[in-house]
Amino acid sequence: MSEFKEIRDFILEKTSEYYNSRFKQNKFIKGKSRVNYAGRVFDDTELRYAIEASLDFWLTEGRFSEEFAEKISEFLGVNHVLLTNSGSSANLLAFSALTSEKLGEKRLKPGDEVISVAAGFPATVTPIIQYGLIPVFVDVVIPTYNIDVKMMKKALTSKTKCIFIAHTLGNPFDLEAVIKFAKEHDLWVIEDNCDAFGSEYNGKKTGSFAHLSTISFYPAHHITTGEGGAICTNDSQLAQLVRAFRDWGRDCYCSGGENNTCGKRFSQQFGNLPFGFDHKYVYSEIGYNLKMTDIQAAIGAAQIQKLPYFCKKRKENFNEWYRIFSKYPDYFILPSATENSDPAWFAFIVTLKKPISFTRDDITSYFNSNLVETRNLFAGNIIKQPAFLNRDFRIAENLDNTDYIMNNTFFLGTYPGLTKDMFDYSEELLDKFIYDQANVSKEV
C-alpha cells in the first residue's frame, strides 16, 4: 500500500501547481471583461478534495458526504442534514416527505392548499402542483421582496395545510410572523433557504426555523458543488422520510455499505410481503434516486470552510452596489433587509420608480451590452409563465407588487469574485446611462 500512498501524495502535491497555472485570474479590462452576476470562487483546496475523492473512487455517498453533512449541521445548528443532487430536488424531497401516509392525518393530500408566493423561482411551487395540491399565492412587499404577512391571513381556509416560501435573494422573510401564524393554525412550514445559506434572523441562521429547510449548491449560490442540494430538519421522523423518498422510496435507512442497522433486517412484516423479507428491499414510499455523489460532497466540504468569508464579501458587495445606486433616488427603489435580519445577500435587487424616462429592459439591455450581467427576479409573476397558465391555483387577494416586479425589477450579482475594478466600471456605466436619460428628458 505504501507505493499507492506515494503516488497519491505526488498527485495531490501537484494540485496547487496546476491550480496556479490553470485558474490564475486574469486582469479586469473595461469593456472586454465580463462582470458576471455569479461565478465559482475556489482555490486548490477544492481541487485537492475532489481529486482525493476521485482517487478513493467511492462514487456514491461516502466519507466526504458524511463530512459535508456534518459541517452543514454544525453551521446551521440542525440535527439532520440529507444531501441531494440539486436544490430543486431538495424542495421536491422536503415536500414529498410531508405527503407520507406515515404522518397520518397531518400528511399533505391532493386538494390541500399551500401558501406560497408568485414572485420567485419555480422550484418552490412545482412540487405543490406535482403532488396535486393547490398553491395559494400571496403578494410580496417591496423593498424586501418577501411575503406580505398581513395578506397571508387572507390566504387561509380550512384546506390550508402548509406554507412553502423562500428567503428572497438571501433576504429572510419575516420568520417570527410566519412561524407564529403556522403554529396558530397547525401548518407545516418549508423554508426554502437556497438563496440564503448564511443569512440570519434574530441572530439565528436561516434554515433552522421551519419543519424542513432546503439549500442549493448550484454555482450561483453561496457555496457550490456544481449541482447539489441539502434538506435540513430537527425532526427525526421527517429526516427518515426524506431519506426514504431520496433513496428509491425504500424503508431501510442503512448508510451506503452498511447492513442491518436496525437489527431486524429479516424479522419484520411489511405490506403483503412474506414475513422476514429483506428490509433492504422494502419500499414504503413512491420515491426517487436523488443522492449526491461523494466527489460533489468533497468539493462542498472544502467550500463550506469558506462560507463565513463568502457571506462577508456578499454583504460588502451589496453595500457597494447600494452606494452606487443610492446616488439616484428619483429613479430606483433600493432593497431593504427584513427587520431583525442580517442577510448574506444572494444579489442586489433594484426596482424602477415610475414615472421615469426609461424601462427595466432599457437599463438591463444597456448593462448587458456593456458586459455587466443582470437578471430579472426569476419567474416574475409565475402564474403568467407558460407552464403555469392552466394550473389550479388561487390568489389570496391581489398580486399587484408581483406584477410590478415582473415589469420593473432586476438584480446584479454580489458573489465574492467581484472586484473594485468591476464596481468602478459598473458605476461609470450607470452614471453615463442616467446622464443620458436626464438629457433626453430635458429635450422632451
Catalytically active residues are 221
| Ramachandran sector of residue 166 (left: φ over 0; alpha: ψ -120 to 50; beta: rest) | beta
Grid look-up 410566519 returns: 178
Question: Which of 115, 114, 176 lies closest to 140 in space, CA to CA?
Answer: 115
Distance CA 140, CA 156 (A): 16
Tell whether the torsion through CA atoms of 391, 395, 398 and 402 is positive or negative: negative
Distance CA 253, CA 244 (A): 7
Could you give phi then psi for residue 101, rounded to 5 degrees?
A: -65, -20
Buried/exposed 350-387: b ≥16 CB within 10 Å, e otherwise: bbbeeebebebeebbebbeebbbbbbbbbbbbbbeeee
The Cβ of residue 225 has, within 10 Å, a number of other Cβ atoms equal to 30
Tell whether the torsion through CA atoms of 11, 14, 18 and 19 is positive or negative: positive
Distance CA 430, CA 367 (A): 8
Segment holding 442, helix H or strand E: helix 420-443
Tell whether the torsion through CA atoms of 378, 229, 160 and 338 is positive or negative: negative
Cell of 410: 432586476
The Cβ of residue 29 has, within 10 Å, a number of other Cβ atoms equal to 10
Write the CA distances from 433 to 189, 325, 365, 371, integer angstroms: 43, 12, 11, 14
* Beta bridge partner(s), residue 188: 162
Tell whether the torsion through CA atoms of 243, 246, 250 and 252 is positive or negative: negative
Distance CA 399, CA 128 (A): 19
Beta strands in 179-228 (DSSP E): 188-192, 200-201, 204-205, 212-216
Distance CA 389, CA 382 (A): 9
Residue 301 near residue 65, CB atoms below 8 Å: no
Residue 349 near residue 377, CB atoms below 8 Å: yes
Parallel, antiparallel or unpaired: strands 212-216 and 204-205? unpaired
